[in-house]
């Protein structure tokens, strides 16, 4: 199973190390972005490996794969600090999707995004311009991060509705987007600071430290 998963993950573009027992897995855990662990392993089982990882403040995310699929086992693994749980037998496509989802969450959680004198610490949800802290509502914050992750590109109002309000049908009026862009600009541009959020007429909005119209 380990060799098959190693091959599949490598073919999907991941760099992989294989540990043949829990003790070796514990040693390798801190050096990698993700651990995929079975529960039944020699030397040290997966539950104990996770317990020792978290006790040692090793924050590497863990995806458990196991034939032990009872609710009690799943709860135990998650309570010990696992990030996800996949019961055998499983489809390779599902495992790869869960790997990508975990890595995406880790990337998003640890990201510092900066444009000009504006920076956002997504791990702690902190926003600053220069030395000044900026306090945003949840919706304003989500809108800012969406624009920052598309820095230099135009984000349409429809894209914003889908991403922020989960509106696939287009039932909401674009006015709600305009209102929150206005709120966001007001907070980012306090005390005469330069504009960062620009309107591209008929298309949407973009964030940039340079005026795209100049």
84-101: pLDDT as tens digits: 888 888 888 889 988 988
| Predicted pLDDT of residue 110 | 58
Predicted TM-score of the model (pTM)? 0.53
Highest averaged pLDDT of the listed ranges 9-18, 30-39, 74-83, 177-186? 177-186
Residues of the chain with CATH 3.40.50.2300: 2-109
List the one residue out of 77, 30, 70, 21 whose CA is nearest residue 51.
77
Distance CA 28, CA 22 (A): 10
Q: Given this model, what pLDDT does residue 190 score?
A: 86
User: What gap in Å lies between CA 177 and CA 183, rounded to an integer?
Assistant: 10
pLDDT in tens, 130-189: 888 999 998 899 899 989 988 888 999 988 888 887 755 455 678 889 999 999 999 999
Q: Is 198 helix (H, G, I), strand (E, B) or coil?
A: strand
Torsion of CA 127, 132, 135, 141, to 10 degrees: -30
Tell me which fold the domain 2-109 belongs to: Rossmann fold (3.40.50)
**CATH 1.10.10.10 domain residues, the chain:** 112-207
Grouping H, G, I as helix, E, B as strand and the rest as coil, residue 80 is helix
What is the second-level CATH architecture of the domain 112-207? Orthogonal Bundle (1.10)
Rounded Cα distance between 36 and 138, Å, is 33
At 46-77, the pLDDT tens digits run 899 999 998 888 888 999 988 877 788 888 88
């Amino acid at each position: 199973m380990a060799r098959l998963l190693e091959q599949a993950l490598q073919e999907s573009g991941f760099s992989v190390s294989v540990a043949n027992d829990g003790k070796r897995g514990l040693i390798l855990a801190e050096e990698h972005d993700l651990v995929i662990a079975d529960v039944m392993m020699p030397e040290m089982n997966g539950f104990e490996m996770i317990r020792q990882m978290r006790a040692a403040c090793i924050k590497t995310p863990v995806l458990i794969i196991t034939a032990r699929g009872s609710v009690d086992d799943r709860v135990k693994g998650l309570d010990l600090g696992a990030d996800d749980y996949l019961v055998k037998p499983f489809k390779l496509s599902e495992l790869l999707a869960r790997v990508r989802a975990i890595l995406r969450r880790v990337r998003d959680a640890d990201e510092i995004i900066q444009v000009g004198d504006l920076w956002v610490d997504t791990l702690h949800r902190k926003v600053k311009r220069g030395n000044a802290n900026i306090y945003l509502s949840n919706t304003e914050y989500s809108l800012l991060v969406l624009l920052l992750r598309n820095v230099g590109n135009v984000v349409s109002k429809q894209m914003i509705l889908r991403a922020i309000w989960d509106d696939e049908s287009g039932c909401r009026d674009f006015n709600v987007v305009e209102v929150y862009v206005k709120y966001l600009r007001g907070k980012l541009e306090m005390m005469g600071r330069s504009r960062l959020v620009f309107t591209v007429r008929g298309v949407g909005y973009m964030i940039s430290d340079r005026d795209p119209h100049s």
